[in-house]
Structure 1
Amino acid sequence: MNREDKKRLTRQNVLNAAIELFAEQSYEATTITQITERAGIAKGTFFNYFANKEDLICDIQVIWAVEEVRRIKEQPGLLIPHIRYLIMQIDKFHASRQLMLAVNQGIISSPKAIRNQLEQIDELVKALTEVIEEGQRRGEFTSSLPAAMICEIAIQTYLGTRLYWSMGRGDSNLGTQMVVTFELFFKSIMA
């Protein structure tokens, strides 16, 4: 196994360990030490991959979103109801505004964290572009804008809403705030 493969495998082991622990005992109750012990790595190794626990949860959220978006493309009928449902599920990752604010701070805490977040966003844009292209083929979404542009605007809308909400504005539930915000977005991209 080459060095890059080993790094990917270690990173994935950390993510898997964190997902298991978050499911077992919650995000708040899980420590970095518990994650590294479960992943079988030294605590210092964790920081080669993630700046903090907030950085980790952000990656988990994006990985989950990419998997869910890929499933949407294969759904029969209209795609928007599936996308709405996905947006509502976002709230399950972030129970509080304080946690979301910490996540937002974590993803812009360093050039490395920003690069990592942009790589994750690129994966999400690729998956979402395929869904938008499928929606354009089905006649559900406008073809007057390139699918990739629609995806970039969707990500901007999501990140802006998340930041706005984490600063104490909008609905008390992040998922509801996202749905309300995205209604206008959906109207703008429908055929």
Structure 2
Amino acid sequence: MESLRERKKRRTRDALLHAALDLFTSQGYEQTTVDEIADAVEVSQRTFFRYFAGKEEAAFAVQVIAEAHFIRAVRERPPCEPPLEALRQAVLEGWGTVNEAIASVVPVEMYLRMFRVIESTPTLLAAHLRRSVEAEEALARLLAEREGVDVETDPRPRLLVAVFGAVIRVTGRAWSSDGDLSVAAIRDLTRTYLDLVGPELIGSWRRD
């Protein structure tokens, strides 16, 4: 059980995160200062840096929650599912279950609007691509462990994750440029784009 002090710290962090995303999505990432975020919560700049290393960490904080949720969902998929199907179901079902985790911090709509901010802000897009490489490596190693293959000698885990990651990035870019920024819209678009992935990676990799 959280102590009173821990609850207070969590509330302060959540308030700072909410204020940061609200400002990023309303006036732009580059145009927002740490002082403005802190002022919106009526705390000092020093307090902001107690919770976040900088604006970039705040910009991606909710995405970290979503990514952790997805990794956990992949890990929990039935072992009989082929790798691509496990990724597909984890992400499609994840859009339905991640809401609760995100909504406990910020409105889901605000998180989704951050996609557009990331796509339109060069520094954030570069950071997003860098983070994607790190996340894909972790996911490739998870798939290799799940399938009983060696990620260092078998190229399929990294290849599949690279293809899957590219589909998700293209999906996010198309979705963020559309008018419908709903969870249902991005889930439907994700399903449509994943259906375009060819058969070479779809089947089971197991030899038994």
Q: Please report the TM-score for the alignment, with normalisation by the length of structure 2.
A: 0.54
Over 3 Å counting, the alpha-carbon distance change for 1:137 and 1:161 in structure 2 is same
Alignment of 1:144-183 (within 5 A): 146-168=156-178, 173-183=185-195
CA distance in structure 2 between the partners assigned to 1:170 and 1:189 by the alignment: 31
Maintained 8 Å contact 1:62/1:120? no
Matched, 1:85 2:93: yes
Q: Which moved more, 1:174-183 or 1:156-165?
A: 174-183
The verdict on how the C-alpha distance between 1:29 and 1:116 changes in structure 2, with shifts beyond 3 A counting, is closer
Q: Deviations over 1:10-67 (max 9, x none)?
A: xxx99x8148864xx9x54897224683995257x96x6225xxx7343421443135
**Structure 1 position 76, deviation (Å):** 3.3
1:126 aligns with 2:137: yes
CA contact (8 A) 1:62 1:124 kept: no
- Aligned positions, number: 162
Aligned partners of 2:175 and 2:181 also within 8 Å: yes
Contact 1:100–1:162 (8 Å) recurs in 2: yes
Out of 15, 35, 43, which is 1:37 matched to?
A: 43
- What percentage of aligned pairs have identical amino acids? 12
- Letter aligned with residue 191 of structure 2: V
Deviation (angstroms), 1:159: 1.2
CA distance in structure 2 between the aligned counterparts of 1:40 and 1:70, rounded to whole angstroms: 34
Change (3 A) 1:89 1:162: farther
Structure 1's 88 and 135: CA in aligned 2 closer, same or farther, altered over 3 A? Answer: farther
Equivalent position to 2:109, from 64, 80, 95: 95
Q: Which protein shows a greater Rg? A: 2
Instruction: Note closer, same or farther for the CA distance 1:122–1:99 as it changes in structure 2 (3 Å cut).
Output: closer
- Residues 17 and 39 of structure 1 are in contact (CA less than 8 Å); yes or no, is this contact kept in structure 2? no
Q: 2:13 aligns with which of 12, 17, 25?
A: 17
| 2: CA distance, partners of 1:166 / 1:120 | 19
> In 1, Cα distance between the equivalents of 2:168 and 2:15?
23
Structure 1 residues 135, 186: CA separation in 2 closer, same or farther (over 3 Å shift)?
farther
Unaligned runs of 5+ in 1: 1-12, 139-143
Shift of 1:189: 2.2
What's the TM-score, normalizing by structure 1?
0.58
For 2:194 and 2:44, how far apart are their aligned partners in 1?
38
State the Cα RMSD in Å: 4.5
1:181 to partner: Cα distance: 1.5
Aligned to 2:33: none
Q: Which has the higher mean CA deviation after the structures are superposed, 145-154 or 178-187?
A: 178-187
Residues 95 and 187 of structure 2 are in contact (CA less than 8 Å); yes or no, is this contact kept in structure 1?
yes
- Counterpart-to-counterpart distance in 2, 1:146 and 1:41: 45
* Alignment counterpart, residue 189 of structure 1, candidates 195, 201, 207: 201
Provide the rounded CA distance (Å) in 2 between the counterparts of 1:185 and 1:135. 21
